[in-house]
């Protein structure tokens, strides 16, 4: 067993465990976005960054294994400030279409923003507008809303072993693509819906649920 | 401190197309010494004792890297020479590769012997394609001469992407995938190329190796400062009269390089370490160049009084936004946010809040980015905010209510 300091108290962890797993076992909630326990971590979103004493930078808890004697702070002011700043960036480049978005208050980005107390971004940056892809009989892809967590890419690759998606272009123009940036159609994708359940925002929706008028009480988001 | 030639010893002296001229300059003697007189562990001990640190910018102790790879389990290990010199304003590796390819091959053979590797790769920057024939010829000649027994050296051409100079993205690129940074740990010496132990060294780091083996760790240890041993090759460009490649002992003041060797006048600021490096105003020109202070990969870009500081910072940030791989959020969106805000300052329509956002974003990028690119991208912004705050203040829109 490995003994580490977690937010000031001594806890025990197994070798090979990540900081995030240790925190979860000890009832400490570290926000995550690109991480899912079913998938291999990639450390892309950096929301789960925590402070480790002596480290030059913050470390992402989803892929950093614990080491003996580590002193970890999961919610220090430095960490919270960095997380807020990341969410602010994500919101700034995300379309402000929450009112008509199918994800509404199930959206993980909105939940994250509410939890961290991030409101309207203080600045404007470019948004990535793509045409809505509704060629496939199974999935409607609205890549304008994509936050590039790569969860769909990994779910398809690791769970269904299909490798339909990949990342193309670079930097700000990075995009989840199919083949040579073709619209997703039924030729490459079968009806499994795995990627849809992994999308944290409204970028992937089921065909039958998308683009239909919503009935019932409107969903209200607190925070 | 004077110029001292260790790395550039053979440059201009030998014919890079002919191995015999290299043999005449004690060529491959270090390899013979390592193979006959020293065990691999002794070679590593020698490198460790010399205090040689990586010349690619990060300054990781080379001997330690080799030792980790040597001790990592497995029989399949790789030696990679990072010749993807992409940093803005560096051209030292190009200079060395074109004039002394044999030292590099000898060093890779020594590294292969030390860590127990059978395969070496030279990851050559795409823009350096014209050096390909020269290097292939040098490898072929070394092979014919029987110097490479047990080691196959392959040249892998890059596809023209700045991030592929980062070691983990470089390995992805060699594996044939999109050059995206991997998280660490695991570090390459334990789990690198194709998941096997791998050492990745910069061209300049490797060129030091034969000299250290020949002359001993003691000799190398006496050159330089306490924590930076040996010499450093600098490529200096910008507003100078004599741009070019200079080799100086570690710890030499920046003034010597900029004013005495390159003959710069009216210096306003110096960017040490390229786009990812630190920005120093003229009053800091006596800073010694060493890992303790500023160094980076050895790119020194000089700007004189006629240049606009905010314009320099804006263009640096444009470069990073262009070269970002797009994997992690802080770098992908942070660089984009910064160019939007800096563009306002270039036009003179910034606001006080923009300055706060700039500072917040810069700090967040330095702390949370996945790789060195994102962590160092805001350096120019942070440094100029520290040294030239008045210039930013002057660009705050006049119409803004105070």
DSSP one-letter string for B12-61: TTS-TT-HHHHHTTTTTHHHHHHHHH--HHHHHHHHHHHT-B-TTSS--B
Q: What is the pLDDT of residue A103?
A: 81
**Is B58 in the A-facing interface, judged by CB distances under 8 Å?**
no
Last residue of a domain, one of B170, B186, B221: B221
The angle formed by the CA atoms of residues A75, A80 and A86, to the nearest 5 degrees, is 140
- Within 10 angstroms of residue B46's Cβ, the number of other Cβ atoms is 22
Tell me which residue has tokens 């009084």. Answer: B305
Q: Which of A86, A167, A172 lies closest to B368 in CB terms?
A: A86
Determine whether the interchain pair B328/A45 forms a contact, defined as Cβ–Cβ distance below 8 Å.
yes
Determine whether the interchain pair A46/B178 forms a contact, defined as Cβ–Cβ distance below 8 Å.
no
Nearest chain A residue to B350 by CA distance is: A123
**In B, residues 339-358, which contact A (CB 8 Å cutoff)?**
340-341, 353-354, 356-357
* b/e sequence B343-375, b meaning 16+ C-beta within 10 Å: ebbbeeebbeebbebbebbbbbbbbbbbbbbbb
Is residue A211's pLDDT more than 70?
no
Q: Are B252 and B338 contained in the same domain? A: no
What mean pLDDT do residues B112-117 have?
93
Contact list, B185 vs chain A (CB under 8 Å): 64-65
Task: Give the C-alpha distances (Å, rounded to integers) separating B275 from B20, B126, B164, B279, B291.
Answer: 39, 19, 16, 9, 17
- Rounded CA-CA distance B142/B122 in Å is 15
- Rounded CA-CA distance B192/B194 in Å is 6
Q: Are B210 and B356 contained in the same domain? A: no
pLDDT in tens, A61-108: 999 999 999 999 999 999 999 999 999 999 999 998 888 888 877 889
Residue B357 pLDDT level (bands cut at 50, 70, 90): very high
pLDDT in tens, B264-284: 989 999 999 888 889 999 999
Percent share of chain A, pLDDT over 70: 94
Q: Which domain holds residue B133?
A: 19-221
**Is B325 in the A-facing interface, judged by CB distances under 8 Å?**
yes
Q: Which of B329, B353, B366 lies closest to A57 in CB terms?
A: B366
What mean pLDDT do residues A109-115 have?
90
- Average confidence score pLDDT of chain B: 91
Q: Are B132 and B40 contained in the same domain? A: yes
Residue B8 lies inside a defined structural domain of this protein:
no
Q: Could you tell me the fold of the domain covering A128-206?
A: Alpha-Beta Plaits (3.30.70)
**Is B265 in the A-facing interface, judged by CB distances under 8 Å?**
no
| Encoded tokens for A27 | 């009832």
Residue B90: which CATH number?
3.40.50.11540
| Encoded tokens for B308 | 């606009």
Task: Give the C-alpha distances (Å, rounded to integers) separating A117 from A77, A103, A110, A219, B365.
Answer: 14, 20, 10, 20, 20
- Within 10 angstroms of residue A16's Cβ, the number of other Cβ atoms is 9
Number of A–B residue contacts, CB under 8 Å: 116
Q: Look at chain B and report how many structural domains it folds into.
A: 3
The closest of A52, A50, A51, A24 to A37, measured between CA atoms, is A24
| Encoded tokens for A59 | 């470390």
Classify strands A71-73 and A49-52 as parallel, antiparallel or unpaired.
antiparallel
- Rounded CA-CA distance B262/B241 in Å is 6
Contact list, B368 vs chain A (CB under 8 Å): 46, 49, 57-58, 60, 82, 86
The closest of B341, B347, B335 to B394, measured between CA atoms, is B347
Residue A223 pLDDT level (bands cut at 50, 70, 90): very low
Q: Which of A46, A82, A85 lies closest to B328 in CB terms?
A: A46
Last residue of a domain, one of B221, B253, B285: B221
What mean pLDDT do residues B361-389 have?
93
Phi, psi angles (nearest 5°) of residue A44: -90, -40
**Is B362 in the A-facing interface, judged by CB distances under 8 Å?**
no
Contact list, B183 vs chain A (CB under 8 Å): 41-43, 60, 63-64
Residue B14 lies inside a defined structural domain of this protein:
no
Which residues does residue B303 pair with via DSSP β-bridges, in sequence order?
B269
Is residue B78's pLDDT more than 70?
yes
CB half-sphere exposure, B366, CA atoms < 13 A: 17
pLDDT in tens, A117-130: 998 899 989 898 99
Give the 3-state secondary structure of A45-78.
CCCCEEEECCCCCCEECCCCECCCCCEEECCCHH
Determine whether the interchain pair A123/B341 forms a contact, defined as Cβ–Cβ distance below 8 Å.
yes
- Asked if residue B270 lies in contact with residue B258, where contact means CB atoms within 8 angstroms, the answer is yes
Q: Are B87 and B134 contained in the same domain? A: yes
To probe the interface with A, which of B321, B329, B366 has the most A CB atoms within 10 Å? Answer: B329
Q: Which of A43, A58, A169 lies closest to B183 in CB terms?
A: A43
pLDDT in tens, A127-171: 989 998 888 888 889 999 999 999 999 999 999 998 899 999 988
Nearest chain B residue to A121 by CA distance is: B357
Residue intervals in chain A for CATH 3.30.70.20: 128-206
Tell me which residue has tokens 């193309």. Answer: A168
- Rounded CA-CA distance B177/A164 in Å is 16
Residue B374: which CATH number?
1.20.1440.230
DSSP assigned state of B130: G
The closest of B366, B179, B328 to A41, measured between CA atoms, is B328
| Encoded tokens for B358 | 């700039």
Is residue B65's pLDDT more than 90?
yes
pLDDT in tens, B191-219: 999 999 999 999 999 999 999 999 999 99
| Encoded tokens for A31 | 């926000």
Determine whether the interchain pair B368/A46 forms a contact, defined as Cβ–Cβ distance below 8 Å.
yes
Q: What is the CA radius of gyration of chain B?
A: 22
Q: Are B50 and B163 contained in the same domain? A: yes
Q: Are B39 and B124 contained in the same domain? A: yes
**In B, residues 279-318, which contact A (CB 8 Å cutoff)?**
none
Domain A2-87 in CATH 3.10.20.740: yes
**Is B329 in the A-facing interface, judged by CB distances under 8 Å?**
yes
Residue B181 φ/ψ region, left for φ over 0, alpha for ψ in the -120 to 50 degree band, beta for the rest: beta
Q: Are B258 and B355 contained in the same domain? A: no
Q: Are B294 and B330 contained in the same domain? A: no
What mean pLDDT do residues A46-72 have?
94
Residue B3 lies inside a defined structural domain of this protein:
no
- Asked if residue B170 lies in contact with residue B80, where contact means CB atoms within 8 angstroms, the answer is yes
Q: What is the pLDDT of residue B117?
A: 93
Q: Are B217 and B260 contained in the same domain? A: no
Determine whether the interchain pair A125/B336 forms a contact, defined as Cβ–Cβ distance below 8 Å.
yes
Percent share of chain B, pLDDT over 70: 99
Residue intervals in chain A for CATH 3.10.20.740: 2-87
Determine whether the interchain pair B336/A167 forms a contact, defined as Cβ–Cβ distance below 8 Å.
no
Q: Are B299 and B314 contained in the same domain? A: no
Considering A93-102, A104-113, B65-74, the range whose residues carry the highest mean pLDDT is B65-74
Residue B193 lies inside a defined structural domain of this protein:
yes
Q: How far is A160 from chain B, CA to nearest CA, in Å?
A: 20
- Rounded CA-CA distance B73/A181 in Å is 41
Q: What is the pLDDT of residue B401?
A: 57
Contact list, A78 vs chain B (CB under 8 Å): 367
Last residue of a domain, one of B161, B190, B221: B221
Is residue A218's pLDDT more than 60?
no
**Is B127 in the A-facing interface, judged by CB distances under 8 Å?**
no
Q: What is the pLDDT of residue A212?
A: 66
Determine whether the interchain pair A126/B178 forms a contact, defined as Cβ–Cβ distance below 8 Å.
no
Determine whether the interchain pair A92/B337 forms a contact, defined as Cβ–Cβ distance below 8 Å.
yes
Reported ipTM = 0.90
Q: What is the pLDDT of residue A217?
A: 58
Residues in chain B: 402
What mean pLDDT do residues B113-133 have?
93
Q: Which of A44, A45, A89 lies closest to B337 in CB terms?
A: A89
Q: Which of B329, B334, B356 lies closest to A44 in CB terms?
A: B329
Classify strands A71-73 and A2-6 as parallel, antiparallel or unpaired.
parallel
Q: Are B47 and B110 contained in the same domain? A: yes
Q: Are B74 and B211 contained in the same domain? A: yes
Residue B319 lies inside a defined structural domain of this protein:
yes
Residue B7 lies inside a defined structural domain of this protein:
no
Residue B286: which CATH number?
3.10.20.600
Residue B61 lies inside a defined structural domain of this protein:
yes
């Amino acid at each position: 067993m490995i003994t580490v300091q977690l937010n000031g108290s001594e806890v025990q962890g197994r070798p090979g465990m990540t900081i995030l797993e240790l925190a979860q076992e000890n009832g400490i909630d570290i926000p995550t976005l690109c991480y899912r326990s079913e998938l291999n971590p990639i450390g892309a979103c950096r929301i789960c960054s925590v402070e480790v004493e002596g480290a030059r930078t913050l470390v992402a808890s989803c892929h950093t294994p614990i080491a003996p004697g580590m002193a970890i702070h999961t919610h220090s002011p430095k960490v919270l400030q960095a997380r807020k700043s990341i969410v602010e960036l994500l919101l700034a480049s995300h379309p402000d279409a929450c009112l008509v978005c199918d994800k509404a208050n199930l959206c993980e980005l909105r939940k994250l923003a509410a939890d961290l107390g991030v409101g309207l971004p203080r600045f404007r940056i470019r948004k990535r507008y793509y045409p809505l892809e509704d060629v496939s009989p199974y999935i409607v892809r609205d890549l304008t809303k994509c936050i590039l967590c790569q969860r769909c890419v990994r779910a398809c690759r690791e769970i269904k072993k299909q490798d339909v998606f990949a990342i193309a272009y670079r930097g700000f123009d990075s995009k989840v693509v199919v083949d040579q940036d073709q619209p997703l159609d039924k030729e490459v994708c079968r009806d499994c819906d795995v990627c849809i359940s992994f999308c944290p925002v409204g970028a992937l929706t089921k065909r039958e649920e998308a683009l239909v008028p919503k009935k019932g009480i409107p969903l209200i988001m607190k925070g | 401190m004077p110029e001292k030639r260790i790395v550039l010893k053979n440059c201009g002296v030998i014919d890079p197309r002919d191995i015999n001229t290299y043999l005449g300059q004690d060529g491959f003697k270090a390899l013979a010494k390592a193979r006959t007189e020293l065990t691999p562990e002794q070679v590593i001990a020698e490198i460790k004792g010399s205090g040689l640190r990586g010349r690619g910018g990060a300054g990781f102790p080379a001997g330690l890297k080799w030792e980790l790879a040597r001790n990592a389990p497995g029989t399949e290990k790789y030696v990679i020479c990072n010749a993807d010199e992409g940093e803005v304003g560096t051209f030292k590796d190009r200079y060395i590769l074109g004039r002394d390819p044999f030292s590099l091959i000898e060093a890779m053979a020594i590294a292969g012997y030390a860590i127990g590797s059978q395969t070496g790769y030279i990851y050559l920057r795409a823009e350096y394609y014209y050096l390909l024939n020269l290097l292939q010829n040098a490898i072929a000649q070394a092979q014919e001469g029987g110097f490479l027994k047990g080691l196959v050296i392959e040249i892998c051409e890059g596809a023209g992407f700045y991030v592929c100079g980062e070691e983990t993205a470089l390995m992805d690129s060699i594996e044939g995938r999109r050059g995206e940074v991997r998280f660490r740990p695991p570090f390459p010496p334990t789990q690198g190329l194709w998941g096997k132990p791998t050492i990745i060294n910069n061209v300049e780091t490797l060129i030091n190796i034969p000299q250290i083996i020949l002359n001993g760790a003691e000799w190398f240890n006496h050159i330089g400062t306490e924590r930076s041993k040996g010499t450093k090759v600098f490529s200096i460009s910008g507003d100078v009269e004599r741009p070019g490649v200079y080799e100086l002992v570690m710890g030499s003041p920046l003034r010597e390089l900029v004013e005495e060797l390159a003959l710069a006048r009216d210096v306003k600021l110096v960017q040490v370490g390229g786009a990812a490096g630190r920005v120093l105003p003229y009053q800091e020109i006596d800073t010694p160049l060493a890992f303790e202070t500023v160094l980076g990969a050895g790119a020194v870009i000089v700007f004189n009084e006629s240049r606009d500081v905010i314009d320099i910072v804006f263009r640096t940030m444009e470069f990073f936004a262009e070269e970002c791989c797009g994997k992690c959020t802080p770098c992908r969106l942070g660089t984009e946010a910064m160019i939007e805000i800096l563009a306002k300052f270039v036009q003179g329509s910034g606001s006080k809040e923009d300055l706060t956002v700039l500072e917040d974003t810069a700090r967040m990028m330095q702390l949370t980015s996945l790789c060195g690119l994102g962590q160092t991208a805001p350096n120019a912004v942070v440094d100029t905010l520290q040294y030239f705050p008045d210039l930013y203040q002057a660009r705050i829109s006049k119409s803004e209510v105070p």
